[in-house]
Amino acid sequence: MISSYLTLAAVLFVIGLYGALSKKNAVIVLLCIELMLNAVNLNLIAFAKFGINPSLKGQIFSLFNITIAAAEAAVGIAILIALYRNKATANVTEMNSLKK
Amino acid sequence: MRLQLSDLIYLSPELTLVIAAVVISVLDLVLPNKINRTILGWLSILSLMISAGFVLYYMRLLNLSEDPLLPVELLNLSYRVDDFANLFKLIFLVGTIFVLFMSIGSIKKEEIQHRGEYYYLFLPATLGAMIMASSGDLITLYVGLELLSITSYILVGIKKSSVKSNEASFKYVVIGGIASAFILYGMSFLYGMTGSTNLTEINQALQLSDGSFALLIYVSFFLIIAGLGTKIAAAPFHAWAADVYQGAATPVTAYLATVSKAAGFAMIFRLVYLVYLGVGGQQQDPIFLDFFMIILIIAASAMIIGNTLALKQRNMKRLLAYSGVANAGYLLVPIGIGLHSPVPHSSNFSEMYFYLIAYLFMNLGAFAVLMAIERTTGNSELKGFAGLYYRAPFTAFAFVIILLSLAGLPVTGGFIGKVFILLGALQVKVYWIAIIMILTSVISFYYYFSVIRQMFMRTNFEASTDKLNLTTPISITIWISTAITVLLGFFPNYVISYVHEIFNLFTDFLML
C-alpha cells in the first residue's frame, strides 16, 4: 500500500525538479517548485497513515509545509512581478545580466 | 509537555526580536514620510543588542560554577536552550548588528526606497537563524530555515528598481526553493523510517533498526546534505552564490556570506551529530562513517572549486563569493573528520567555532571596505581598488590585514583558525584533506594578493582619483573587524579555552 504512494511522490518530485531546471517560463518554474514541495507532503501523509510508526506528527508537519510553501510562492511571484516591471520578460533564459 | 507561560522567559532572546520586528514595522507605517528612517535602523540594532544581552544572561546561568541551570527543553524537546545554540546565536546577533550598523547612512536612497523595510527585515531573518540553532525537532528546524530563507529572498531583491537585484533575487528564490524541497524530502524519509520528528528519537530508532533501512538512510542523508550544501554554498552546490552576491546590495551580501552561512552550519552540525551519528553502529562498517566521508568529499570539492574559480574573477563581490565557497569547505572539515578514530577527538566544535568567528569578522571588514569603494566608483569591479593606498592609506592598511587573514597568513585570526582545523584533521589521521587544504590555501594567495597588488602597485588608475567616500559607521566597522582579526591571531587561546570550558560535545550535545 505505502509503496505506491511513495512511488507517486517520487515521480511528482522528479517531474517538479525536471520542470524547475528546464522550463523557460518563470511562472512554470515556480509552479514546479510547488510540485516538489507537494510531493513531500504526499510522502509525509503516506508515512503518517501507513508507516511503521503511524502518528499525527507527519500530518502536522505537512500542515506547516503547506503554510511555508504558500509564503514562499507569494514572495517568489512578488519578485517576479518586480522583475517583469523592469525587464518586461518572464523568460528565464533572458535573465542573464549577471555575468563575470 | 505543554508550553507554560513561565517557560516563555527562556525564549526572551527570540521574543525580543519578534516584538521589535512587529513594533518597528508598525512604526514604519505610522511615521510620516518626512521623518528619516535611520531611526528604525538604530531601533533594530538596539533590539538585537537586547537579545544578545539575554543570550549572554542564559549562557552565564547555564555555566554557573554551583547550581547551574540545566539545558532548557521546551515543547516536547523541540526547542533547546543550550550552550551550542547560545554560542551560535551570539555569532548571528553580532554579525547582524554590524551589517545593520554599516548600512546606516551608507545605503543610497535612490537604490533602496524602502529603507524602513530594509532595516527591520533583518530581525525576522536573524530570528530564523536563531530558531535553526536551537531546534531539536525537524519541524522547528525547517520553519527556522524557511524564515531565514524567505526573508533573505526579499532582502536580496530590496533594490526594487535595479534589474540586477531583481534577477539575483529571482535566482535565489528558485535555487533556495529547490534546496528546501530537497531538505524536506530527506526529512520526510527520516520521519517515515522512525515515526518521529524529534532528532534524538530519530537517532535512537535508527540505531536500533536492522539493515533493511540502509538504502533509505542513505537517500535521506544525500537529499539533506544536497539541500544544506546549497544553503551554505559549498561546491558542487555553489553556482547561485556569485550571481546572488553580485546582484544584492552589499550589506545584504555581507549578511548572506556570514550570518546565513553560519546558520546553515549550525543546522548541519545538529543534523550530523544528533541524527546520523552512530547509525548502523552494530555492523562491521557502520553506515555513518560513510556520511562523514561524504562531508569530507564535499569539503574538498568546495575548497578546490571555490579557490580555482576565484582566480579569474574581475568583480570583488564575485571574488568574495567564491572565497566564501572555499571557506565553506574549510568549515566543513571539522564536521567531517568525525569523532571516531584511533585517537579520541572531540574538539570539532571549537575548531569550527573559532574559524567561524574569524570568518565573520574578515568578511564584515572586507564587505565594509567594498561598500566604501562602491560609494566612490559606483560598481564593485576589482579595478576600483587601484591605488587605494595612495588615496586612503589607513583603510588600505586595514584591508591588507583582512586580506592576509582571508589568505591565512600569520599572525591573524584566519591563520590560527586554519591551523586549528588542520591540526584536528591531522590528529584523526585524515591526511588527504589536510593536504588539499594546504594546497588550495596556497592557490588562494594568488587572488588575494592580486587585490593587494591593485592597491599598492597601480598608480595610473583610470577608475577614480577621488577621495575614498567613507562614512563613520563604515570606518568603525572596518577598524573593529581588523582589530578583532588581529586579536584573534595573537590571543586565540582565550576564545578556544572558553568554548572548551562551556561546551563539551559528549555531555552537552549528545547527552551520553
Mean of the per-residue pLDDT values for chain B?
A: 88
B504 versus A24: which is more confidently predicted?
Answer: A24
Compute the average pLDDT of residues A42-60: 91
Give phi and psi for A67, each to the nearest 5.
-60, -50
Residue B224 lies in a domain: no
B273 in Cβ contact with B390 (< 8 Å): no
CA–CA gap between residue B145 and residue B180 (Å, rounded): 8
Given an 8 Å threshold on Cβ–Cβ distance, is A75 in contact with B154? yes
Given an 8 Å threshold on Cβ–Cβ distance, is B178 in contact with A58? no
pTM: 0.94
Most confident listed range (A18-27, B369-378, B454-463): A18-27
pLDDT band at B512 (very low <50, low <70, confident <90, very high): very low
Q: Where does B340-392 show beta strands of DSSP type E?
A: none
Could you please report the per-residue DSSP string of B159-176? STT-HHHHHHHHHHHHHH
Residue B209 lies in a domain: no
In 3-state terms, chain B is what percent helix, strand and coil (to 5)? 75, 0, 25
What are the cell numbers at B41? Answer: 535602523
Lowest mean pLDDT among B173-187, B286-300, B343-357, B404-418: B343-357
Model pLDDT, residue B284: 65
**For residue B77, pLDDT beyond 80:** no
What are the cell numbers at B429? Answer: 589521521
B105 in Cβ contact with B38 (< 8 Å): yes
Residue B455 lies in a domain: yes
Model pLDDT, residue B26: 94
Helix and strand counts by DSSP (H, E) for chain A: 3, 0
Lowest mean pLDDT among B47-56, B78-87, B224-233, B474-483: B78-87
Compute the average pLDDT of residues A22-39: 94
Report which of B328, B354, B329, B349 is spatially closest to residue B338, judged by C-alpha positions.
Answer: B349
Residue B317 lies in a domain: yes
Residue B163 lies in a domain: no
**For residue A26, pLDDT beyond 60:** yes
Model pLDDT, residue B25: 93
**For residue B444, pLDDT beyond 50:** yes
Compute the average pLDDT of residues B253-260: 95
Tens of pLDDT along B462-483? 555 667 778 888 999 999 999 9
Partners of residue A71 in chain B, C-beta under 8 Å: 146, 150
Model pLDDT, residue B282: 61
Residue B509 lies in a domain: yes
Q: Distance (Å) from the C-alpha of residue B248 to the closest C-alpha of chain A? A: 11
Could you please report the per-residue DSSP string of B215-239? HHHHHHHHHHHHHHHHHTT-TTS-H
Residue B496 lies in a domain: yes
Tens of pLDDT along B311-338? 988 899 999 999 999 999 999 999 988 7
The parent domain of residue B370 ranges over 306-512
Tens of pLDDT along B183-196? 999 999 999 998 88
pLDDT band at B428 (very low <50, low <70, confident <90, very high): confident
Q: Distance (Å) from the C-alpha of residue B427 to the closest C-alpha of chain A? A: 40
B114 in Cβ contact with B41 (< 8 Å): no
**For residue B340, pLDDT beyond 70:** no
CA–CA gap between residue B182 and residue A67 (Å, rounded): 17
Q: Provide the chain B residues 141-160 that lie in CB contact (below 8 A) with chain A.
A: 142-143, 146, 149-150, 153-154, 157, 160
CA–CA gap between residue A55 and residue A59 (Å, rounded): 8
pLDDT band at B281 (very low <50, low <70, confident <90, very high): low
Compute the average pLDDT of residues B131-139: 92
The neighbouring-strand residues paired with B315 are B381
Q: Distance (Å) from the C-alpha of residue B36 to the closest C-alpha of chain A? A: 25
Given an 8 Å threshold on Cβ–Cβ distance, is B246 in contact with A53? no
**For residue B342, pLDDT beyond 60:** no
CA–CA gap between residue B126 and residue B44 (Å, rounded): 11
Partners of residue A81 in chain B, C-beta under 8 Å: none
Lowest mean pLDDT among B89-93, B234-238, B480-484: B234-238
B382 versus B90: which is more confidently predicted?
Answer: B90
Lowest mean pLDDT among B153-162, B342-351, B465-474: B342-351
**For residue B222, pLDDT beyond 90:** yes
**For residue B507, pLDDT beyond 70:** no
Compute the average pLDDT of residues B332-349: 76
Q: Provide the chain B residues 163-192 that lie in CB contact (below 8 A) with chain A.
A: 163-164, 166-171, 173-174, 177-178, 180-181, 184-185, 187-189, 191-192
Model pLDDT, residue B495: 86
% residues pLDDT > 70 (chain B): 93
What are the cell numbers at B228? Answer: 544544506
In 3-state terms, chain A is what percent helix, strand and coil (to 5)? 80, 0, 20
Q: Provide the chain B residues 318-357 that lie in CB contact (below 8 A) with chain A.
A: 318
Residue B436 lies in a domain: yes
For B250, other C-beta atoms within 10 Å of its C-beta total 25
Count of structural domains, chain B: 1
Model pLDDT, residue B212: 76
CA–CA gap between residue B150 and residue A79 (Å, rounded): 11
Compute the average pLDDT of residues A55-76: 94
CB proximity list for B47: less than 8 A, separation 6 or greater? B16, B17, B19, B20, B24, B123
